[in-house]
Amino acid sequence: GESVGLHLPTLSVQEGDNSIINCAYSNSASDYFIWYKQESGKGPQFIIDIRSNMDKRQGQRVTVLLNKTVKHLSLQIAATQPGDSAVYFCATRGGSQGNLIFGKGTKLSVKP
């Protein structure tokens, strides 16, 4: 079955540095990927998405890279700020009704 996993459970970075969060997926037929940010006690917040016909997409301070050959997805956060501290999940679309399958999550801690 489909599974989406993350390489690192925790990531600690210095304020101002760039952060890279990685994710691996197993279903080569996955065609849509999303990154979510979840702060403590809150619901997930959409960050950025990418379709399988792209290998890179940029947003404000964030970039998602997709490598379909090795089934790997990454989220890059430029100039990481304390407000970026949260748990980050990658997700892929599963099922016929569009439900999401979430990875395990990476906790990002930003040191001032």
Partner 1 sequence: GAVVSQHPSRVICKSGTSVKIECRSLDFQATTMFWYRQFPKQSLMLMATSNEGSKATYEQGVEKDKFLINHASLTLSTLTVTSAHPEDSSFYICSARDPRGSGNEQFFGPGTRLTVL
- Applying CB under 8 A, the residues found at the interface with partner 1 are 32, 36, 41-46, 49, 89, 93, 95, 97-105
Contacts of residue 82, Cβ cutoff 8 Å, sequence gap at least 6:
15, 110, 112
Nearest to partner 1 of 77, 91 (CB atom): 91
- In the complex, least distance from residue 10 CB atom to partner 1, rounded to whole angstroms: 11
Gap between the Cα atoms of 75 and 33, Å rounded: 11
Gap between the Cα atoms of 112 and 102, Å rounded: 29
Strand order in the sheet with 19-25: 4-6, 19-25, 72-77, 62-67, 56-58
Nearest to partner 1 of 101, 108 (CB atom): 101
Nearest to partner 1 of 69, 99 (CB atom): 99
- In the complex, least distance from residue 99 CB atom to partner 1, rounded to whole angstroms: 5
- In the complex, least distance from residue 12 CB atom to partner 1, rounded to whole angstroms: 16
